[in-house]
Structure 1
Amino acid sequence: MPGAQLSTLRVGPDKVVRGGLTRRRFLTWTGVAAGLATAPTLFATDAASAPAPRSGGNPFTLGVASGDPLPDGIVLWTRLAVDPLARAGGMGAASHRVDWELAADEGMRLVLRRGTTTATARGGHSVHVDVRGLAPATDYFYRFRALGETSRVGRTRTAPAAGSPVGQLTVAMASCQSWADGFYNAFADMARTAPDVIAHLGDYIYEKPIPPDGGARATTAMPASAHRECATLDDYRDRYALYKLDADLQRAHATSPFITIFDDHEVDNNWAADIPEDDQPIPQFVTRHAQAIRAWWENTPTRVSAPGNGFRAYRRFVFGDLATVSVLDTRTHRSDQVNGDNDTGQNAATADTRRTITGVAQERWILDGLSASRTRWNVLAHQTPIADLAHDDNGIRAVSMDGWSGYEASRDRILDGARHRRVGNLVSIVGDIHRNIVSELRSTYTRPSPTVGVELAGTSIASGGDGQDSDDQDRALKAGSPLIHFGSSQRGYVLHRITHTQWQAEFRVTDSIGDPGAPLHRRALVTIPDGRPDIDVI
């Protein structure tokens, strides 16, 4: 391949050169960030000046959702918006009563739990109901009522009891759903499959401006803020509303519980802790970051506490005796990217033992969780690849500085720690890179090192457009990374079927996301046997 083509290659397709601007370290701003997170005016919005909701409007235009399944509980979510493309969703400054019901049947005749909560302007008129006292491994159905209207009925499912025998767990994996790049065919396919849980691993929205013509969707029906980069809480709320209007995304949310974690575009491309992508003044970015994470929380069916001092997004889920899933946050606690955050060779900066992608506390939490696990499979669910996905850049073995390959010592500590603890059946599931890649997990890739697990990277829902079965980047990565066992770059998702004897990952893709009716098909079936990090691809 010509060198000119490879010189602009990026493992993370959203990762851009920063135009010569230097990203500075502002570690002294940690205290400022903590103070701003609790400032009473931080979450002030335009809702106070918005008119009262019009009478007769449907407040459930953004759908319903559930998430963070436990053996005895589930979080139910909705967000009221009678005019979803208007500021504050057309709900004004008033608070509104929301009634909810949870039943054993889809017809909602056998109601088991009911209650009332309040949707406030401060909370973006979203509600999170943490229903407890439920039976494990059980399907439930739910709905909401507000302003004289009733929502659609959603289906959800609790997790199996810890340690209980589980025959099979189905997990769909999604990430990167740039609204303007195409339709959400993958979510329509997920809704038909109805997996036990859907793991959304980041880039639920994109903060960048949307073309006036709506891009691949060819529509001008967008909030006024859609044509500029998100900067305020109201901007981020607008963007979530636009995305959540998608009918296929709503169907997926109404079919299966989601476990969700943010990546970079929910805030700002390639942000790291309190450091922005560009030279935005740090006090402004700290405020923007807090508001963006607030909008993520408002629009996510999560049990995570509302953002503020002590906010922690990483968490763990146990599914019977079958799988322990540790959901990581590799944005909030990481060190700044090095080498200009460009794909380049590893060096003393990437090997610096003081740098971390998880933060010290989360690193300890990961290793303690792996040590304590009593399930057959041990899963790290997170944002960016652990494996070195290397390619040749004019004679340089180049890797991403945004993924774990730019944080070698951090990777070493966790993977070597897992090996020393004799952690078996370690599987990493990730998004971010807009392509499917199956590779081996090793603590280092530049010298002999034992394989300690398998990494399954899933393609994007929509980001990057249709893609190809194999493009220049796919071929370059396969040439530069001999531990890659499979790769493709069409849009879709991964459906995992997990049993005691094997892990099967079905990579489902579509030929076009420009056509909302285009079906998905199986591109590959990857099997990992119990007890060995072997990879079989069909």
Structure 2
Amino acid sequence: MPNTLRIAPDKTLRSGISRRTFLTWTGVASALAFTPGLIEAPAAYPAPMNHGDHLFTLGVASGDPLPDAVVLWTRLASAPLAPHGGMTDIPIPVEWELALDSNFRRVFTRGIELATPADGHSVHVDVRGLEPSTDYFYRFRAAGHISDVGRTRTAPSASGTTGALTFAWASCQSWGDGFFNAYADMAAAAPDVVFHLGDYVYEKAIPTRGGQRNTTAVPQSAHSEMTRLDDYRERYALYKLDPHLQQAHRTSPFIVTMDDHEVENNWAANISEDEVPVPDFLYRRAAAFKAWWENTPVRAELRPNGADMRIYRRFTFGDIAQFSVLDTRQYRSDQVNGDTDGPQNELTARPDRTITGAGQERWLLDGLASSRTRWNVLAHQTTIADLARSKNGARAVSMDGWSGYEASRARILDGARERGVDNLVSIVGDIHRSVVSELKSTYTRPATTVGVELAGTSISSGGDGADSDESDKLLKAASPHVKFGNSQRGYVLNRLTHQDWQAEFRVTDSVADPGAGLRRRATVRIPDGRPDIEVS
């Protein structure tokens, strides 16, 4: 690590932090509330800053926490909605520092990284040598500008007993469909870590006047579908100006994967939704991957190699949870049956079809077999469970989810059962609704329940929604393995212990109003040792 100065951590500071209780804003979370520029909610949605006002307009973030390391991220943009973010072609040195207190009286380490135009003036600092289960604070400085302060947290050590883990996950945040209210609520909870499971940005043109946001403050490229690197960079800049999203990023470390809209709707491997020639689509995919890497707090080693990028990776949090973060886009077989909801048939059952690819499938099963944690979690994009509905009198399922890849699903779930994997939980996004299901290798004949799937709703995609819409009623009627459903916007907040998993589904009545709050819609409890679903 270049130009670093390390100071031994003051362990007395950690001992003075009280333990947080589930879904309350106490302990370190309440301390953060009084730190200027950290997680306080904005009074109103501000207009974008003018050229030269600040270099850190896109905020700060941290991510991919390990017991001894974390990534610190920022991206310089003096005029975020202008071409190239208002930046020149000159590399800029960026100073960073990490401390044990938000006032930076106990600096742990500091250094300098170079923000280059080739990487969109983004910075990914992989800070090593940290203490496990520890809160740290960080900030950046460049050309006389100082960023907001962020808080991050390392993962617990694998060698000890972890009493509890709090985490949230989110997905699907279409900027034009509404405001990102859920992130203010998430920041107030200050979870140990946040998973973003895809559709961080959307590729389609944003409606006139910003859709629900009723603003013309969008880059010119937002008026059409993004296909070039500059288009993708500008779309990320627009999204990252959202103050509630910035608030969540500077409060908790994020672990991020992608789904389809970061590139193009329902893409599959090298196949475009619009059936463009493969070389043209791979050129677009390379641009999308590069922009995703530049704008997410992932390690520099994830930098894409053209149109290829190793996104799937694994995170272990002490002895309490192992998360296998999947990539179900880059290696999948093409969707069958016209990629529309329909019946499963000989095409969906073909044994040579895969949603993960053979290499990732082996990696996943090997990781599950060697896990020594209480909970084994698949963190990914689309639902494993059949969310069946009756369509024209026939049972219909999505061809884009695991329902369209029946043999692939059976290999994973039967493989986990054969390896004696306990407490298997799948967490997903994508479907713009909350659905809790029993996890089975097939749903067209009797099968053992091997785990639980928790599908979380969207941050804003789909607009306000309702407590139960027509699709919710239809899937509950045709899918007896579904135990809870809701189609409002929000996210899922979780507390894991060795005794149980508690998932709180938090929803808002409106994403058209940036000040609308969230509330608990339901709490789902999964007891240790058996895949039961208790809803309250």
Q: What TM-score does the superposition give when structure 1 sets the normalisation length?
A: 0.89
Distance 1:324 1:163 in 2: 14
| Match for residue 531 of structure 1 among 522, 529, 532 | 529
Identify which range, 305-314 or 216-225, moves more after superposition.
305-314
Q: Which residue of 1 aligns with 2:373?
A: 375
* AA at the equivalent of 1:370: L
Residues 42-101 of structure 1: per-residue CA shift (max 9 Å, x gap):
xxxxxxxxxxx9984310000000000000000000000000000110002111110000
For the 8 Å contact 1:143–1:154, the answer to whether it is kept is yes
Q: Which residue of 1 aligns with 2:46?
A: none
**2:69 paired with 1:76:** no
* AA at the equivalent of 1:161: S
Could you tell me how far 1:212 is from its partner in structure 2? Answer: 2.0
For the 8 Å contact 2:68–2:129, the answer to whether it is kept is yes
1:128-207 to 2 correspondence within 5 Å?
128-207=124-203
For the 8 Å contact 1:203–1:264, the answer to whether it is kept is yes
Distance 2:89 2:222 in 1: 22
1:291-370 to 2 correspondence within 5 Å?
291-303=287-299, 304-308=301-305, 311-370=309-368
Q: Which residue of 1 aligns with 2:261?
A: 265
For the 8 Å contact 2:51–2:79, the answer to whether it is kept is no
| Match for residue 413 of structure 1 among 400, 411, 414 | 411
* AA at the equivalent of 2:437: S
Could you tell me how far 1:218 is from its partner in structure 2? Answer: 0.3
Q: Which residue of 1 aligns with 2:515?
A: 517
* AA at the equivalent of 1:399: V
Q: Which residue of 2 aligns with 1:401?
A: 399
Could you tell me how far 1:271 is from its partner in structure 2? Answer: 0.3
* AA at the equivalent of 1:185: N
Could you tell me how far 1:395 is from its partner in structure 2? Answer: 1.5
* AA at the equivalent of 2:303: A
For the 8 Å contact 2:70–2:154, the answer to whether it is kept is yes
Q: Which residue of 1 aligns with 2:235?
A: 239
Q: Which residue of 2 aligns with 1:450?
A: 448
Q: Which residue of 2 aligns with 1:459?
A: 457
Question: Residue 523 of structure 1: SS of its match in structure 2?
Answer: strand
Residues 404-461 of structure 1: per-residue CA shift (max 9 Å, x gap):
0000000000000000111000000000000000000000000000000000000000
For the 8 Å contact 2:51–2:86, the answer to whether it is kept is no
Distance 1:315 1:386 in 2: 19
| Match for residue 103 of structure 2 among 102, 107, 110 | 107
Distance 1:416 1:104 in 2: 45
Percent identity, please: 69
Question: Residue 489 of structure 1: SS of its match in structure 2?
Answer: strand
Could you tell me how far 1:156 is from its partner in structure 2? Answer: 0.1
* AA at the equivalent of 1:143: R
| Match for residue 254 of structure 1 among 242, 250, 255 | 250
Distance 1:192 1:132 in 2: 28
* AA at the equivalent of 2:396: A
Could you tell me how far 1:396 is from its partner in structure 2? Answer: 1.3
Could you tell me how far 1:294 is from its partner in structure 2? Answer: 0.6
Distance 2:160 2:298 in 1: 24
Question: Residue 351 of structure 1: SS of its match in structure 2?
Answer: coil
Distance 1:459 1:400 in 2: 17
For the 8 Å contact 1:400–1:406, the answer to whether it is kept is yes
Q: Which residue of 2 aligns with 1:27?
A: none
Distance 1:354 1:281 in 2: 24
Residues 342-365 of structure 1: per-residue CA shift (max 9 Å, x gap):
000000110001010000000000
For the 8 Å contact 1:163–1:375, the answer to whether it is kept is no
| Match for residue 229 of structure 1 among 206, 225, 237 | 225
Distance 1:324 1:76 in 2: 22
Q: Which residue of 1 aligns with 2:438?
A: 440
Instruction: Figure out how many residues of one structure are paired with residues of the other and give that number.
Output: 486
1:381-396 to 2 correspondence within 5 Å?
381-396=379-394
Could you tell me how far 1:130 is from its partner in structure 2? Answer: 0.1
Residues 90-145 of structure 1: per-residue CA shift (max 9 Å, x gap):
00211111000000000111111100011111100000000000000000000000
| Match for residue 428 of structure 2 among 415, 423, 430 | 430
Distance 1:379 1:72 in 2: 21
List alignment gaps of at least 5 residues for structure 2.
1-48
Structure-2 change in CA distance of 1:55 and 1:93 (3 Å)? same
Could you tell me how far 1:281 is from its partner in structure 2? Answer: 1.9
| Match for residue 493 of structure 1 among 476, 491, 494 | 491
Residues 2-32 of structure 1: per-residue CA shift (max 9 Å, x gap):
xxxxxxxxxxxxxxxxxxxxxxxxxxxxxxx
Distance 1:471 1:308 in 2: 43
Could you tell me how far 1:311 is from its partner in structure 2? Answer: 2.7
**Displaced runs of 4+ in structure 1, greater than 6 A?**
none
Question: Residue 122 of structure 1: SS of its match in structure 2?
Answer: helix
Q: Which residue of 1 aligns with 2:478?
A: 480
Question: Residue 208 of structure 2: SS of its match in structure 1?
Answer: coil
Question: Residue 473 of structure 1: SS of its match in structure 2?
Answer: helix
Q: What TM-score does the superposition give when structure 2 sets the normalisation length?
A: 0.90
